[in-house]
Homo-oligomer: A and B are copies of this chain.
Amino acid sequence: MSKPLILVTNDDGVTAPGIQALTEVAKEFGDVVVVAPDKPQSGMGHAITINATLRVQELKSKNDVPVYSTTGTPVDCVKLAVNEILDRKPDLILSGINHGTNASINVIYSGTMSAAIEGCLEGIPSIGFSLTNHSIDADFTSAKHYAKKIVPQILENGLEKGVCLNVNIPDMGINEIAGIRVCRQANANWIEEFDRREDPSGRPYYWLTGHFENYDEKDDTDISALEQNYVSIVPVQYDLTAYSSLKKLSKLDF
């Protein structure tokens, strides 16, 4: 029997330490191919490239793992891998390990999670992993440890149709992590603070910055899990319908 085929991608770019850590995890469970952006693509959300062309480059394989970089977004990478690069449909897609949290509302801005959602759209079990440390030299030891616990469970049991996983790992030692908690997306948001500057000609420009605010005081959220030193797993869906609003909306007099 052939080993499972595992596609590894990310949004921090093909050279990021996080994707190397995830590739090492994946290698323990199957045949691995890496297809990732040739440059950082954080904050790209579910963007796709439709008004420009895409390039694919095969890089030198590392430890028998074929590695491809593309000029596209994380979602482009999944589409290119599944439709052009791989010779069979992958059994699992792993995205990350992201340098920085994708808990709560970050899921919607995250290229890492959008790649997992795209995999899910293609009918492939998909998991996005993120470490709550955005530093380039973050320590992925704990994240790898927990990824090795989660990956075989999903390979064995699969995921429900239309669902992928958003896994966030707290930035601490393995012995400090309290365990794994399955939870929901916290109701939180970024409060923007644009940093307005002037260029050498005196014309204004802006940097998008902000701080994160958690409005959710309940205990069953990903933010709460991370605050209590748990690894958070949120099942994520691409059906955005707000079913609870259907009835009320239908009563409006359009």
A interface residue numbers (CB < 8 A to B) = 40, 42-51, 53-56, 73, 75-76, 79-80, 82-84, 105, 107-109, 114, 117, 121-122, 149-150, 153, 157, 159-160, 162-163, 165, 180, 182-185, 187, 189, 192-194, 196-197, 203-208, 233-246, 248-250, 252-254
Contacts and interface: CB of A to CB of B under 8 A. Distances in A.
28 contacts: A42-B51, A43-B47, A45-B45, A47-B47, A48-B208, A53-B197, A53-B207, A54-B208, A79-B194, A84-B194, A84-B196, A108-B117, A108-B238, A121-B189, A153-B254, A162-B187, A162-B242, A163-B245, A180-B254, A182-B250, A185-B239, A233-B254, A235-B242, A235-B249, A236-B240, A236-B241, A237-B241, A237-B245
Contacts of A241: 184-185, 234-237
B163 A242 contact: yes
Identify the interface centre among A53, A180, A208, A236: most chain B CB within 10 Å of its CB.
Answer: A208
Contacts of A153: 252-254
